[in-house]
């Protein structure tokens, strides 16, 4: 391993992070201790440290942090985001020219596409009339007719409608009975013939009559409801008298006496609680058990038929003298007679039966 001068080694190394590429000042460089082994093309972190550069970075960071520290308690601050506001490399004329260019570009990007404030040569017309700020719309502008008959009909309808609504007393009987919509081939009649007199008057009379009828029905329903509530209140009073089977005054006096005895120590606080006593009694009561469901009529008839069939078979066996396995469950004891020949009885069907001794 050849020995090298430390000064020559520092001259060959450039300042790390330096943009100019000038050689580092050897008096501001700090080098780690000598390595045990020298490896080619291996860069050790922190081997060459520039103290002056570190100090400059520290001072720059300290200036930024100082400004932020001063503004730490401020709720708002003004930030000028205009072009060239914080750029000292540009002159005032250059900054103003660039701002003007950007403003014109922004206005030209279809921002005034639907702006009608400027004057235009286009003239809008309707039915031969120029539509401008002095234009007044009329009914004829909204209605378009194909021929003169339709226009005449429309004028007649407007005139008749005006007379019906604003005619007053001068509206003649002939006009009231006439049909403003003209004669119809399907029903060539006047309004009086079609609706049976003054149609409008009859319609208003019907509306008034129906309104009065609804009011009367509502009033009648309310009266019935009040009477029903009064009857229910009376019935509830009678029911309450029937339910009050306990003497409330006596219960209150007994409760006061019990509390007095409890306060004097003559009685336990829990011993006189009637409610707890009743609850305990209910806990010791015999609990109900589930029973069989109610049988239907078909099931009852089926069981009766089977029982009748079984009894008939027993009766036939007794007639044949076969008493083996017969427990005489269908024969009453009062009808049995014990004799020397055996047991004589009359079954439910009225037949005399003799059961020999020994089952023979």
Whole-number pLDDT of residue 220:
92
Could you give the CA distance from residue 117 to residue 97 in angstroms, rounded to a whole number?
28
User: In tens digits, what is the pLDDT along the chain, a chain of 360 residues?
Assistant: 444 444 444 444 444 445 555 666 777 777 767 778 888 888 877 777 777 888 889 999 999 899 888 888 877 777 788 888 878 888 889 999 999 998 888 877 666 666 655 555 666 777 667 777 666 666 555 545 445 555 665 666 677 666 666 655 444 555 555 555 555 444 445 555 555 556 677 777 888 888 889 899 999 999 999 999 888 888 887 777 777 666 777 778 888 888 888 778 776 666 656 677 778 788 887 777 778 888 899 999 999 999 999 989 888 888 887 777 666 665 554 455 545 455 666 665 666 666 665 444
Q: What is the pTM of this model?
A: 0.19
Which H, E and C letters describe the chain, residue by residue?
CCCCCHHHHHHHCECCCCCCCCECCCCCEEECCCCCCCCCCCCCCCCEEEHHHHHHHHHHHHHHHHHHHHCCCCCCCCCCCCCCCCCCCCCHHHHHHHHHHHHHHHHCCCCCCCCCCCCCCCCCEECCEECCCCCCCCHHHHCCCCCHHHHHHHHHHHHHHHHHHHCHHHCCHHHHHCCCCCCCCCCCCCHHHHHCCCHHHHHHHHHHHHHHHHHHHHHHHHHHHHHHHHHHHHHHHHHHHHHCCCCHHHHHHHHHHHHHHHHHCCCCCCCCCHHHHHHHHHHHCCCCCCCCCCCCHHHHHHHHHHHHHHHHHHHHHHHCCCCCCCCCCCCCHHHCEECCCEEEEECCCCCEEEEEHHHC
Whole-number pLDDT of residue 62:
93
Whole-number pLDDT of residue 281:
80
Sketch the domain layout of the chain as residue ranges: 6-68, 148-197, 248-280, 328-360
Question: 88 is written with which tokens?
Answer: 């000292």
Whole-number pLDDT of residue 279:
80
Count the alpha carbons within 13 Å of 256 in the hemisphere toward its beta carbon.
6
């Amino acid at each position: 391993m050849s020995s090298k001068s430390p000064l020559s080694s520092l001259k060959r190394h450039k300042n790390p992070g330096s943009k100019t590429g000038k050689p580092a000042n050897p008096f501001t460089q700090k080098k780690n201790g000598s390595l045990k082994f020298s490896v080619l093309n291996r860069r050790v972190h922190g081997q060459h440290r520039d103290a002056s550069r570190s100090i400059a970075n520290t001072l720059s960071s300290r200036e930024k942090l100082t400004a932020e520290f001063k503004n730490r308690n401020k709720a708002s601050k003004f930030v000028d985001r205009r072009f060239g506001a914080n750029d000292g490399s540009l002159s005032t004329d250059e900054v103003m020219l660039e701002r003007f260019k950007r403003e014109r570009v922004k206005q030209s990007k279809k921002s005034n596409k639907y702006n009608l404030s400027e004057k235009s040569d286009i003239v809008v017309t309707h039915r031969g009339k120029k539509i401008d700020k002095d234009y007044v719309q009329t009914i004829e502008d909204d209605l378009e007719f194909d021929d003169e008959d339709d226009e005449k009909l429309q004028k007649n309808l407007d005139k008749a409608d005006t007379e019906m609504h604003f005619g007053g007393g001068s509206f003649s009987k002939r006009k009231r009975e006439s049909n403003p919509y003209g004669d119809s081939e399907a029903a060539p009649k006047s309004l009086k013939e079609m609706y049976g007199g003054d149609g409008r008057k009859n319609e208003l009379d019907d509306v008034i009559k129906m309104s009065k009828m609804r009011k009367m029905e509502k009033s009648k329903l309310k009266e019935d409801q009040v009477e029903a509530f009064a009857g229910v209140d009376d019935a509830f009073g009678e029911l309450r008298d029937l339910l009050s089977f306990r003497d409330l005054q006596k219960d209150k006096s007994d409760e006061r006496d019990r509390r007095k005895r409890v306060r004097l120590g003559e009685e336990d606080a829990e011993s006189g609680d009637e409610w707890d006593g009743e609850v305990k009694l209910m806990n010791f009561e015999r609990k109900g058990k589930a029973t069989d469901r109610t049988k239907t009529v078909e099931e009852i008839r089926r069981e009766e038929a089977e029982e009748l069939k079984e009894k008939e078979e027993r009766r036939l066996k007794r007639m044949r003298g076969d008493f083996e396995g017969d427990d005489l469950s269908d024969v009453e004891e009062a009808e049995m007679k014990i004799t020397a020949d055996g047991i004589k009885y009359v079954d439910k069907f009225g037949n005399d039966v003799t059961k020999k001794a020994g089952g023979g």
